């Protein structure tokens, strides 16, 4: 790994808006997205990247990997909290906002059951609004792979939610 070249820094700066949207689509929360974006940029600037790496593609991968690490840490903390909890399993939902939260959680849980590959391409295409070709370039995979992963992800979500 080496420090970023001037060209890589310029590309990274141009990708910040897209990375912000990607962070928001991954986290579902603007505050978490800001934190994730900051961690991503810090990580890329501190650790550098291979000289032949495309700064945009590299930053998206770093962002995704940081988020996966955070999800794993949250899962561990959640399991620990549940093990520590006593008798609070009968929390009822009494308002419309609660019902919306439950629906959102249901969709979020369904998305989280997708494989990492399917979830990533689905978020980039459906939430970020990137074309299949752009996603293929960012993730450095064939466009046909992007298309099949998105199709499988959508079909899986429809089965789980519908």
The pLDDT tens digits for 86-96 are: 444 444 444 55
Question: Could you say which DSSP state residue 16 is in?
Answer: H
Boundary of a domain, candidates 38, 72, 91: 91
The reply to whether 100 and 63 lie within a common domain is: no
- pLDDT at residue 37 is higher than 90: yes
Q: Are residues 72 and 135 in the same domain?
A: no
Angstrom CA distances, 107 to 110, 120, 130, stand at 5, 15, 21
* Residue whose entry in the numeric block shows the structure tokens 């505050």: 31
What backbone torsions phi and psi does residue 2 show, to the nearest 5 degrees? -130, 165
Q: How many domains does the chain have?
A: 2
- With 90 as the cut, is the pLDDT of residue 20 above it? yes
Residues 50 and 101 in one domain: no
Residue 40: domain span: 1-91
Global confidence as pTM: 0.56
């Amino acid at each position: 790994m080496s420090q970023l070249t001037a060209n890589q820094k310029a590309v990274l700066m141009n990708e910040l808006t897209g990375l912000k949207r990607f962070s928001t689509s991954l986290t579902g929360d603007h505050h978490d997205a800001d934190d994730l974006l900051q961690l991503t940029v810090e990580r890329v600037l501190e650790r550098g990247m291979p000289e032949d790496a495309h700064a945009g593609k590299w930053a998206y991968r770093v962002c995704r990997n940081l988020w996966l690490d955070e999800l794993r840490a949250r899962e561990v903390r959640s399991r620990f909290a549940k093990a520590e909890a006593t008798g609070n399993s009968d929390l009822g939902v009494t308002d419309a906002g609660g019902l919306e939260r439950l629906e959102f959680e249901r969709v979020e849980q369904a998305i989280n059951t997708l494989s990492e590959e399917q979830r990533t391409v689905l978020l980039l295409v459906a939430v970020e609004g990137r074309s299949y070709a752009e996603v293929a370039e960012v993730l450095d995979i064939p466009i046909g792979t992007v298309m099949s992963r998105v199709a499988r992800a959508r079909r899986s979500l429809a089965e789980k939610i519908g």
